[in-house]
Amino acid sequence: MNETIKLQLAHKTVRKFKEEKIQEEDINTLLEVCNRTATSTGMQQYSIIRIKDKSKKEKLTEIATQGYLENCPELFVFIVDVFRNKKIAEELGFKGDTYKDMDRFFQGFTDASLAAQNMTIALESMGMGAVYFGSILNDNEEVCNILKLPELTFPVFAVGFGYPDQEPQIKPRMDMKLKVFEDEYKVFENYLEEVKEYDEEMTHYYDTRANGQRSDTFSKQVLKRFEDINEKRRNVMKVIEKQGFKIK
């Protein structure tokens, strides 16, 4: 097994970092890795907002309700960005409005996600660790305000990173046989039966976050997630529309 795959199979989320700053040279390498990532039809419809301002970090922490966000030495917000290409097209005389299509939004969403994951592998290969914050979408409209996002842009998630000050356990995952199918989707008879072993495994998993507390089964976590309603998150399409995309 090669070093890259060893690294990937050892991935875990890091939520506690040393105060050690990341060298600008390393940041530049990470940005180069982002830039080299595959991008839909070459259009590069994503951008990154690097958060340095303390008060902005505080605001994002409040939104995410995850206190450790504030202590990430680096915090990059990845965004869908169709704005830049719209400007380019308009400067070339384009008069249409196809840049509003949700199809382009999804291209940008994909671009941002691929670049972020590529960056995560790169920084892990340099001895750093990372945490994804989907939780900044708890108030996606406010994130647009805080980052002064223009029309045709939208936050995807943030990635916090730095040198780890903890060694989390590897978190168990559901067997791939429930997630990989041949030629067509496979529906199982009884899902609780299928995830039984995984549920069991999860109860024995001690997340370092929880000070050794036992975890719920995966199934119960799923249930909790569906019961947990955040009106701002579930109404995400309204904000996407407000940002100038045509959702119908």
User: Which residues inside 94-153 make contact with a second copy, applying CB under 8 A?
Assistant: 94, 96, 98-99, 101-103, 106-107, 109-110, 113-114, 116-118, 120-122, 125-126, 132, 134, 137, 146-150, 153
Q: Which helix (H) or strand (E) holds 144?
A: helix 140-146
Query: Does the protein bind a second copy through residue 196 (CB under 8 A)?
Result: no
- C-alpha 12/C-alpha 37 separation (Å) is 22
In degrees, rounded to 5, the angle at the alpha carbon of residue 230 between the alpha carbons of residues 134 and 107 is 40
Query: Does the protein bind a second copy through residue 22 (CB under 8 A)?
Result: no
Of 172, 215, 175, 170, the residue nearest 191 (C-alpha): 175
Of 116, 222, 114, 135, the residue nearest 178 (C-alpha): 222
CB of 166 or CB of 191, closer to a second copy = 191
Query: Does the protein bind a second copy through residue 208 (CB under 8 A)?
Result: no
- C-alpha 104/C-alpha 41 separation (Å) is 11
Query: Does the protein bind a second copy through residue 183 (CB under 8 A)?
Result: yes
Query: Does the protein bind a second copy through residue 226 (CB under 8 A)?
Result: yes
Query: Does the protein bind a second copy through residue 185 (CB under 8 A)?
Result: yes
State which of residues 58, 67, 167, 247 lies at the interface with a second copy (CB under 8 A): 247
Residues 6+ apart with CB under 8 A from 78: 46, 47, 48, 112, 113, 115, 116, 155, 156, 157, 158, 159
Query: Does the protein bind a second copy through residue 181 (CB under 8 A)?
Result: yes
Which two structure tokens, joined as six digits, stand for 230?
């955040």
Query: Does the protein bind a second copy through residue 233 (CB under 8 A)?
Result: yes
Query: Does the protein bind a second copy through residue 220 (CB under 8 A)?
Result: yes
Which two structure tokens, joined as six digits, stand for 3?
């070093």
CB of 96 or CB of 212, closer to a second copy = 96
Of 161, 192, 198, the residue nearest 31 (C-alpha): 161
Query: Does the protein bind a second copy through residue 9 (CB under 8 A)?
Result: yes
Q: Specify the stretch interacting with a second copy by CB under 8 A; choose among 15-23, 61-69, 160-168, 183-191.
A: 183-191
Site for a second copy in 48-87 (CB under 8 A): 48-53, 56, 79, 81, 84-87
Query: Does the protein bind a second copy through residue 209 (CB under 8 A)?
Result: no
Query: Does the protein bind a second copy through residue 38 (CB under 8 A)?
Result: yes
CB of 18 or CB of 192, closer to a second copy = 192
Long-range contacts of 232-235 (CB under 8 A, 24+ apart): 232/138, 232/139, 232/140, 232/141, 233/137, 233/138, 233/140
